[in-house]
Amino acid sequence: MKVKRISILMTVVLVAIFVTTLPLGHLTADAVGKTYRLKIQSAYPRGDLSMELLKDFAQTANKLSKGQIRIQVFADPELVPAEQLFEATQKGTLDMLHAVAAMWGGIVGVGEVEFGLPYAYNLPGEPDVYEAGKMIRDFFFNTGYVDLLRGEYAKQGLYWLDVHSYGPIFTMSTKKITTCNDMKGLKFRVEGSWADYYNMIGARGTYISGMEAYMGLKLGTIDASQWDVSAVTGLNWQEVAPYRVLGGQNDVVVGQILFNQKTWNSLPDDLKKVMADAAEDYFHKLNKIYDAELKKVEDMVKAGTIINSPIDAACDAQHEAAALKLWDQIGQRDPAAAEAIEMIKTWRKALK
């Protein structure tokens, strides 16, 4: 009986030694078994397409992680106002944010450039949503641009996860605009440096929350507002601003997902890859959705609920001249912004 007990005890000891001497890298995430509960908030209200698709981003991360990553998705302003997203994510009140970088260009100078300075993502030819999105993603990941962005956001306690595209800029106006004279004095709701851009042309650039844009257009607080295709297929701005201004825009509106750096660092490498894969999957699915939404716009134009309002060649040339002047001004404000602008100039030359 005593021999049997000794044999059992030795077996237990040997198993314990075997388990404790396994290299940690050989333990899978499933073996560790920790669940990471994360919160992400968008800068956009419910009804915005990219915000609504964050639910799919969360589901993909959950599936790829086999349930270890569970993400709660919030819209503006359900946890904090959009203007406070950056600080809330820095502090860890939020684990992630979903927005455009121009919202904090005054804090991270390169954010103005990342979002897309006027004409920066004005692409040659007439690329569709997929082609335009791919061109932008290739630029980000194949030129060192991502490394520059991650370095700058790390200084703010944030990790730049990935880029995504909202399709082309939509500028909806309460008035028909075909010349730059038509723009004089009109109030354009825009983000970041686009306010300076419109000021240079004689309009008045301003910012209010996307939540307030519909009523602003309806009441005349603003005359035009910049967004993506969700402006009409999700937020119904055409009801109060039926004219779509064409020209002087970018073919891609660039968005980002930022992580709290400490939260990101706490993830095991396999779950970091899960988050990167989920973000890339989100990029592709978002392009697919926006492609379908743009086809809806064609039907709305035919029905007369949206009226295309292209600017003339002289006004378009004035827009481009203002944009290039603005590039120089922004490059002088911040060394990283200047470096990013040079990357864009080199990339654009290669596109021609």
Among 186, 313, 175, which residue's Cα sits nearest to residue 244? 175
Residue type at position 304: G
Give the per-residue pLDDT at 69: 98
Give the per-residue pLDDT at 174: 98
Please state, in angstroms and rounded to a whole number, the distance separating the CA atoms of residues 339 and 327.
11
Give me the half-sphere count of Cα atoms (radius 13 Å) on the Cβ side of residue 216: 22
Give the per-residue pLDDT at 60: 98
Please state, in angstroms and rounded to a whole number, the distance separating the CA atoms of residues 323 and 91.
35
CATH says 170-250+303-329 is which class? alpha beta
Domain residue limits, the chain: 34-167+252-296, 170-250+303-329
Give the per-residue pLDDT at 30: 43
Query: Are domains 34-167+252-296 and 170-250+303-329 of this chain identical in fold?
Result: yes
Please check whether the domain covering 34-167+252-296 is classified as CATH 2.30.40.10. no
Tens digits of pLDDT across the chain (352 residues): 434 444 444 444 333 434 343 333 333 444 358 999 999 999 988 888 899 999 999 999 999 999 999 999 999 999 999 999 999 999 999 999 999 998 898 899 999 999 999 999 999 888 999 999 999 999 999 999 999 999 999 999 999 999 999 999 999 999 999 999 999 999 999 988 899 999 999 999 999 888 799 999 999 999 999 998 989 998 899 999 999 999 999 999 999 999 999 999 999 999 999 999 999 999 999 999 999 999 999 999 999 999 999 999 999 999 999 999 999 999 999 999 999 999 999 999 998 7
CB 32 within 8 A of CB 26: no
CB 226 within 8 A of CB 171: yes
Give the per-residue pLDDT at 32: 59
CB 322 within 8 A of CB 188: no
**What would the 3-class secondary structure string for 259-316 be?**
EEHHHHHHCCHHHHHHHHHHHHHHHHHHHHHHHHHHHHHHHHHHHCCCEEEECCHHHH
